[in-house]
């Protein structure tokens, strides 16, 4: 099990990292059909001064590139070199999915639905088990970066469990444009961190199989704010103060397509809309049919379906609600 001994020597994955040192340790879990090893680089930067251990992860879903880009930039710019404590970066957790640009593991399972895993289960479950046993216990704080699934574009947001005051405090420090109260998903990484008593923030932004500069900027800036709050950010880094405070969203609902056809979105994700505002059009391919979509209520658009084609019943817009909706409408998109 990972540990820091009384001399502040970090031991992880069978390797020891002294204070003030850097290391890249490969987490080797399985092989391809060709017997080629698949290794997950774990990038460690330690200050000579003792302090917290912060774990930054992305790519739990292999096709969620924005998260990978955020952690990559943090490493590339040297933000991960702390003035105290330790920063551990894993830009691509699900290296199998990343190689194929797919969400799942090769066994077809969603890694974010099998934590904390089992020793003798499926490949995804075994990986989760080893991750939880060998890496996660060393962390004092976790930042996990995700995107929207498929063609659904998420406004930059932090997800926290309603009533979790500690997470809400950190979310206000991260200060993404939106903070969404969202219950933890069974067997997710976030739930596992919570059960282990490790504070965790889950960032969502953009969509899968896409890289977005603005989303990456929000993720990097938020991470720097957290590191600055923990007195870990080097004094040579400066980040812009947020123009506005994060908007906290308690309830939301999905507007669904009334017709099948070509979708033409008329607004940007993150926009505040009024009830009845014209936000999209659905047409047929033949120029005979045109249906205007109007906002069902006043609120923030926190997710937009950017697929060019939709079927009747497909989720199109995720909009915040000022009052508590019914159970069906308040369901959050699972990641």
Give 137-148 pLDDT, tens digit per residue: 999 999 999 999
d(CA 223, CA 229): 10
Does residue 158 have a cis peptide bond before it, meaning omega lies within 30 degrees of 0?
no
> What does the pLDDT look like over 203-222, one tens digit per residue?
999 999 999 999 999 999 99
The CATH 3.40.630.10 domain(s) of the chain lie at 3-229
Average pLDDT of the segment spanning 71-99: 97
Is 251-321 CATH 2.40.50.140? no
Considering only CA atoms, which of 103, 12, 4 is closest in space to residue 335?
A: 103
pLDDT in tens, 229-285: 999 999 999 888 888 899 999 999 999 999 999 999 999 999 999 999 999 999 999
Asked whether residue 325 carries a pLDDT value surpassing 60, the answer given is no
Residue whose token pair is 């084609």 = 309
Q: What is the pLDDT of residue 240?
A: 80
Q: Is 3-229 a CATH 3.40.50.1100 domain?
A: no
Rounded alpha-carbon distances, angstroms, from residue 89 to 55, 117, 265, 318? 6, 21, 36, 31
- The yes-or-no verdict on residue 2 having pLDDT over 60 is no
Instruction: Return mean pLDDT, the chain.
Output: 93
Instruction: Report the pLDDT value the prediction gives residue 327, as an integer from 0 to 100.
Output: 43
Residues β-bridged to residue 46: 86
What's the pTM value of the predicted model, to 2 decimals? 0.93
The residue written with tokens 């995720």 in the block is: 318
Phi, psi angle pair for 136, to nearest 5°: -60, -40
The pLDDT of residue 324 is above 70: no
Residue ranges, CATH 2.40.50.100, the chain: 251-321
* pLDDT number for residue 284: 98
* Cα 19 from Cα 136, distance rounded (Å): 19
pLDDT score recorded for residue 4: 53
Q: Bigger pLDDT: 2 or 273?
A: 273
60/82 Cα distance (integer angstroms):
24
Assess whether pLDDT exceeds 70 at residue 333.
Answer: no
């Amino acid at each position: 099990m990972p540990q820091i001994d009384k001399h502040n020597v970090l031991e992880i994955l069978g390797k020891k990292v002294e204070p003030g040192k850097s290391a890249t340790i490969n987490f080797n879990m399985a092989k391809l059909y060709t017997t080629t090893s698949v290794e997950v680089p774990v990038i460690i930067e330690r200050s000579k001064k003792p302090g917290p251990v912060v774990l930054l992860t992305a790519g739990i879903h292999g096709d969620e590139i924005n998260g990978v880009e955020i952690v990559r930039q943090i490493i590339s710019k040297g933000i991960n070199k702390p003035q105290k404590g330790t920063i551990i970066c894993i830009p691509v957790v699900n290296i199998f999915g990343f190689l194929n640009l797919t969400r799942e593991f090769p066994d077809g399972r969603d890694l974010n639905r099998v934590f904390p895993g089992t020793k003798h289960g499926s490949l995804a479950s075994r990986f989760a088990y080893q991750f939880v046993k060998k890496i996660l216990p060393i962390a004092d704080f976790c930042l996990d970066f995700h995107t929207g699934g498929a063609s659904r574009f998420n406004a930059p947001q932090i997800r926290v469990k309603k009533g979790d005051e500690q997470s809400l405090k950190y979310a206000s420090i991260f200060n993404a444009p939106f903070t969404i109260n969202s219950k933890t998903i069974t067997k997710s990484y976030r739930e596992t961190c919570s059960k282990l008593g490790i504070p965790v923030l889950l960032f969502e932004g953009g969509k899968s199989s896409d890289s977005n500069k603005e989303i990456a900027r929000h993720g990097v800036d938020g991470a720097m704010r957290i590191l600055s709050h923990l007195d870990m950010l080097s004094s040579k880094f400066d980040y812009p103060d947020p123009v506005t405070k994060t908007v906290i969203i308690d309830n939301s609902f999905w507007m669904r397509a009334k017709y099948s056809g070509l979708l033409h979105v008329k607004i940007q994700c993150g926009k505040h809309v009024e009830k009845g505002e014209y936000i999209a059009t659905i047409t047929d391919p033949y120029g005979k049919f045109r249906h205007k979509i109007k906002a069902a209520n006043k609120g923030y658009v926190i997710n937009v379906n950017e697929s060019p084609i939709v079927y009747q019943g497909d989720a199109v817009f995720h909009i915040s609600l000022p009052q508590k909706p019914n159970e069906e409408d308040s369901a959050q998109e699972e990641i």
